[in-house]
Amino acid sequence: MTTRFDLQDALFGAFLVVVAALVFYATRTLSFGSPADMGPGFMPRVLAGIALAFGLFFAARGFSRGGEPIDPPRLRPFVAVLGAIAAFALLGVKAGLAVAAVATVLVAAAGSDETRPVEVVLFAIALAAASVLLFVKALALPIPAWPW
């Protein structure tokens, strides 16, 4: 049985491990807390731990066996996700959560060739409504729901 070194999987795994290590290093002075009383370092470290686990998995898979490598990165989905994050960050406070959520979904959907406009609009409206109900109404966070 011959094994094939999968460079893409190994590099992707190494990338995730490096990102997780950087997050652990950057949050080293923040208190962790507990699930009941989360400190400022709780969520970044939990997410870094998850990224570390995925990174180790992909690195091990890349070094141990062949198989289907991950697809090479494409620019359009990458730019769409970054644009969606930017849209939410820029619109969240000024335009309100509902508008920011709709814009985020619409911009992110532009990154795929398989999106259907009607489904995207319906999902954007449903997500905006759920976000407003959860964060503004149920949790009473000081986030404007609407631009007015």
Encode pLDDT of 76-99 as tens digits: 999 999 999 999 999 988 899 999
Residue type, 47: L
Number of domains in the chain: 2
- Other Cβ atoms closer than 10 A to 122: 12
Mean pLDDT of the region 137-145: 89
User: Do 16 and 53 have their domain in common?
Assistant: yes
Mean residue pLDDT across the chain: 89
Query: CA torsion 102→104→110→111, rounded to 10°?
Result: -150
pLDDT band at 61, cuts 50/70/90? confident
User: Do 17 and 42 have their domain in common?
Assistant: yes
Predicted pLDDT at 11: 87
pLDDT band at 70, cuts 50/70/90? low
Domain termination residue (choose one: 28, 44, 64): 64
Predicted pLDDT at 1: 44
Predicted pLDDT at 17: 96
User: Do 81 and 59 have their domain in common?
Assistant: no
Q: What element of type H or E holds 46?
A: helix 42-64
